[in-house]
Structure 1
């Protein structure tokens, strides 16, 4: 049985601006010695092996070497407490890469899955500002860049990315704290990307 999910996503990492890892297909090094990143995915609609998963959110927390293509990533998964055990298992298989799809291509780079925890997750996205609160573990608020020189006010976009979508809106974190799975950082003022996403396998 196949699966498909659609929704919105955003991420925030400790690169200064327009993360070179994402824009180079992981061939360029991050701005600092370690890449510290959180990625939030809100599923608006979706079905995984017959299980409906719309309305649920998953947050991935990652710590990787400066050259991300070297592998050895540490990844933790924060699952929406609103998910039933069946929904959590289904979403875990997609975001862990076992069900195929975009995450399967990254799975060989993961050296350690540090755990999965269930938390109440509050996610909001107004198209320009994106926020996630995961208990006391994650508090991230990012805003897309809009150039004062751009009369369209559409915002800065980077295309040809591929993962998790082809075109990402670039921005910056206004609040960006993480303290979970032994990983702790504050990425306020650092890079963010956001986009609608649609995955299937």
Structure 2
């Protein structure tokens, strides 16, 4: 893993984040890591599209990334396995910046999640396609991941079903609920989900070192 970036860097980012895991309906671990997930493992991913952002002087707009994870059902116990993949179209400085953010070395919300990770697999650089439809979000990494998140249908069909005032480290207070179908296999983490927990939001992360 690239360790060349210092952690005392000012950075910010805005964009789209969506997820799917093996839990039914709403993942209990999404509400709080102290809640017990439904299965023997909670296995899933986060897909991230950086629409705007800078890491020091490095522009990270346009970067796509995913984090796949495999955790015990009581997520607060830690011992997570994580795999980070970053779009191969990125430059060297962009790769180093995004890896530093997502491993938590640059502080911010991912630093809190990194405290639960016992092993990061080696970061991979692969083509990552993220598509945003009116009611769907999709991410594809050929030969590794194909996943679609579909919004739940609410009483007002023109609006997504949402959480409001939800506390979460990486998502803002408002999050749109959905269901997800995924196939993922990177050789170390594997899952096939159908109609399980899914949601998305539009994040804003900022770190300003003292």
- TM-score bracket, normalised by the shorter chain, equals over 0.9
Give the SS at the match of 1:87: helix
Partner of 1:179: 185
Distance in 1 (alpha carbons) for counterparts of 2:147 and 2:170: 19
Partner of 1:2: 10
Partner of 1:169: 176
Partner of 2:98: 91
Task: List per-residue Cα deviations over 1:86-133 (Å, max 9, x = no partner).
Answer: 110000000110000100111110001122111011101135210000
Find runs of 4+ consecutive structure 1 residues off by over 6 angstroms.
none
For structure 2, list consecutive stretches of 5 or more residues without a partner in the other structure.
1-8
- Asked if 2 retains the 8 angstrom alpha-carbon contact of 1:77 and 1:115, the reply is yes
Matched, 1:156 2:161: yes
Partner of 1:46: 53
Task: Provide the aligned C-alpha RMSD in A.
Answer: 1.2
Matched, 1:77 2:84: yes
Matched, 1:191 2:190: no
Distance in 1 (alpha carbons) for counterparts of 2:79 and 2:17: 24
User: 1:180, CA displacement in angstroms?
Assistant: 0.5
After TM superposition, the structure 1 = structure 2 runs for residues 1-80 of structure 1, keeping only pairs within 5 Å, are 1-23=9-31, 25-80=32-87
TM-score, scaled to structure 2: 0.90
Distance in 1 (alpha carbons) for counterparts of 2:152 and 2:167: 17
- Asked if 1 retains the 8 angstrom alpha-carbon contact of 2:44 and 2:191, the reply is no
Give the SS at the match of 2:159: coil
TM-score, scaled to structure 1: 0.94
Give the SS at the match of 2:122: strand
Give the SS at the match of 2:115: helix
- Structure number with higher strand proportion: 1
- Asked if 2 retains the 8 angstrom alpha-carbon contact of 1:21 and 1:28, the reply is yes
Number of equivalences: 197
Distance in 1 (alpha carbons) for counterparts of 2:26 and 2:111: 24
Distance in 2 (alpha carbons) for counterparts of 1:181 and 1:109: 22
